[in-house]
Amino acid sequence: MPSSALAVLAGSLPQLALSTDPGDLEHYGRDWTRRWTPAPLAIARPADIGEVQAIVRWALAERVALVPSGGRTGLSGGAVAAHGELVVSFERMNRVLDFDPADRTLTVQPGLPLERLQQAAAGHGLLYPVDFAARGSCTIGGNIATNAGGIRVIRYGNTREWIAGVKVVTGTGELLDLNRGLIKNSSGYDLRHLMIGSEGTLGLVVEARVRLTDPPPASSVMLLALPAMDALMQVFDVCRRRLALGAFEFFTDRALHHVLAHGAQRPFEETAPFYVVAEFDAADEAQQAAALAVFEQCLEHGWVTDGAISQSAAQAAALWRLREGITESLAAHRPYKNDIAVRIGAIPAFMHQMQAIFAREYPAFDVVWFGHIGDGNLHINVLKPADLADAAFIEQCEHVTRLLSETLQACGGSISAEHGIGLVKKKYLAGTRSPAEIEVMRGIKRVLDPAGLLNPGKVFDTP
């Protein structure tokens, strides 16, 4: 550890509240992946943009790598610090700075938790629509860094769609103020979008201006039990045609099994292999009647075997819990996670191929499928059999992930839909992006972070 380097930083910026406390190093050095042993140099907690710039200039001079840190709820190792990096925690930069009623934007600091951003928007009678289960812990800076998606992408898109401007500090300590809230800006490359989803490898997000929209109309939630995988797409087609969908999610009986074991209420007496959670506008009787008609149509065709439609906000929340509780219910099993994207039309063939691969290679694996089927984004979580050693389990999962990557390559899919590449999927990037694309990415990294200090080793290796 270059302790002299740390002494220089502590001497020039005592207000950073640098910590080398072992508990802090452990806490701030990891995300939800739990696969790497945290070993950062120290934790810095800057309070403003100037301090972030000073940290980057110090890191340049002392050749210390930096790992940006938000809520550390990531699932790809993007916020892991395992090699003596300085963790830059944004937890002191967590305020709403401004509301602009004409532009309907909030200007926020990166450490603001998503849920507090949503509450701030609601306080102005508006909606920040990107949403997912980690809303209470994740931060907007991390959401921007990963271009987070979630449960309402089908209607509102990813984080990218809601970022009207972003300020970033690059690997040279330069502050870039990108797009500044403009709706139209046809003045060359949109560097804002380059930063969104770059996983902290091109710049540190230090401020963002987020767009807000009208609050959503009243909605209801429908839970459907499906007898077979092929019915998923038929039910999706009918729902999309006849309802104003806000979300269309799915999970399997294995996912339900774990959520129930974690305390959720069983929805139906009979189990089914697949379930759909669909949220739809239900502002008037016509929309409510349409939902009932959809349910009856699906029953008649044999695409669903059971169903429930929420009649109150509490019932809607209980149905959502079955889907949103899955990640937490699996956490204790330390699942090997996959977060893939395929075109919607490619979903059935892809699912059949992957199920055949699992059945052939590792029939003993507990494979839990769930996700945002209306976005073509499927989560495939593999749980470790009790009698299998950790190392052997990872090896077997990586073998399957190579086959998964080949299957995705053949159908033009992506090895990461919304979690990012981070450390977890770095090996498989070349199955999703061409050598020419990766070379362009490396070139961009060289321009914005010539010393390779920003989140090194994430997405791809740098010299």
Closest to ligand MLT by CB, 132 or 428:
132
**What is the size of the binding site for ligand MLT (CB under 6 A)?**
7
- Whose tokens are 């008649």? That residue is 300
- Of 203 and 325, nearer to ligand MLT (C-beta) is 325
Site for ligand MLT in 16-75 (CB under 6 A): 75
Tell me if 416 contacts ligand MLT by CB under 6 A: no
| Residues 348/230, Cβ–Cβ less than 8 Å | yes
| In the complex, minimum distance from the CB of residue 127 to ligand MLT, in angstroms, rounded to a whole number | 20
Comparison of 377 and 396: residue with beta carbon closer to ligand MLT: 377
Supply the minimum distance, in Å, between the C-beta of residue 133 and ligand MLT: 5
Q: Which member of 371, 413, 420, 422 binds ligand MLT (CB under 6 A)?
A: 371
**Residue selected from 167, 192, 209, 379 as contacting ligand MLT according to rule CB under 6 A:** 379
Closer CB to ligand MLT, residue 28 or residue 32?
32
Nearer to ligand MLT, 306 or 375 (CB): 375
- CB closer to ligand MLT out of 306 and 339: 339
Residues 314-333 that bind ligand MLT (CB under 6 A): 327
User: Strand 203-211 and strand 163-170: pairing?
Assistant: antiparallel
Instruction: Report strand pairing: 86-89 vs 42-44.
Output: parallel
Shortest separation between residue 167's beta carbon and ligand MLT, angstroms: 27
Residue 79: how many CB atoms within 10 A of its CB? 31
Q: Which residues lie below 8 Å from residue 156, measured CB to CB, with a gap of 6+?
A: 129, 130, 162, 213
Q: Which is nearer to ligand MLT, 72 or 379 (CB)?
A: 379
Burial 86-105 (b: 16+ CB within 10 A, else e): bbbbbbbbbebeebeeebbb
Least distance to ligand MLT from the beta carbon of 249, Å?
Answer: 8
Q: Name the residue nearer to ligand MLT (CB basis): 146 or 179.
A: 146
Name the minimum Å distance from CB 52 to ligand MLT: 28
The minimum distance between CB 102 and ligand MLT, in angstroms, equals 34
Q: Could you give the CA distance from residue 388 to residue 333 in angstroms, rounded to a whole number? A: 13
When the beta carbons of 46 and 149 are compared against ligand MLT, the nearer one is 149
CA–CA separation, 426 vs 418, rounded Å?
14
Nearer to ligand MLT, 117 or 277 (CB): 277
Distances 443 to 187, 345, 437 between C-alpha atoms, Å? 22, 34, 10
Q: Is 209 in the site for ligand MLT (CB under 6 A)?
A: no
Nearest residue to ligand MLT by CB is 327
Q: Residue 189 corresponds to which tokens in the numbers above? A: 């490359």
Nearest-approach distance from CB 218 to ligand MLT, in angstroms: 24
Cβ at position 331, least distance to ligand MLT in Å = 9
Closest residue by Cα to residue 200 from 36, 108, 51, 67: 67
Give min distance, CB of 152 to ligand MLT, in A: 11
Distance of closest approach, residue 297 Cβ to ligand MLT, in angstroms: 28
- Residue 283 CB, shortest distance to ligand MLT, in Å, is 27
State how far the Cα of 219 lies from the Cα of 398, in Å rounded to an integer: 41
Contact map string, positions 123 to 142, toward ligand MLT, x by CB under 6 A: ---------xx---------
Q: Rule CB under 6 A: is residue 212 a binding residue for ligand MLT?
A: no
Least distance from C-beta 241 to ligand MLT, angstroms? 25
Site string for ligand MLT, 328-367 (x = CB under 6 A): -----------x----------------------------
Give contact residues for ligand MLT (rule: CB under 6 A): 75, 132-133, 327, 339, 371, 379
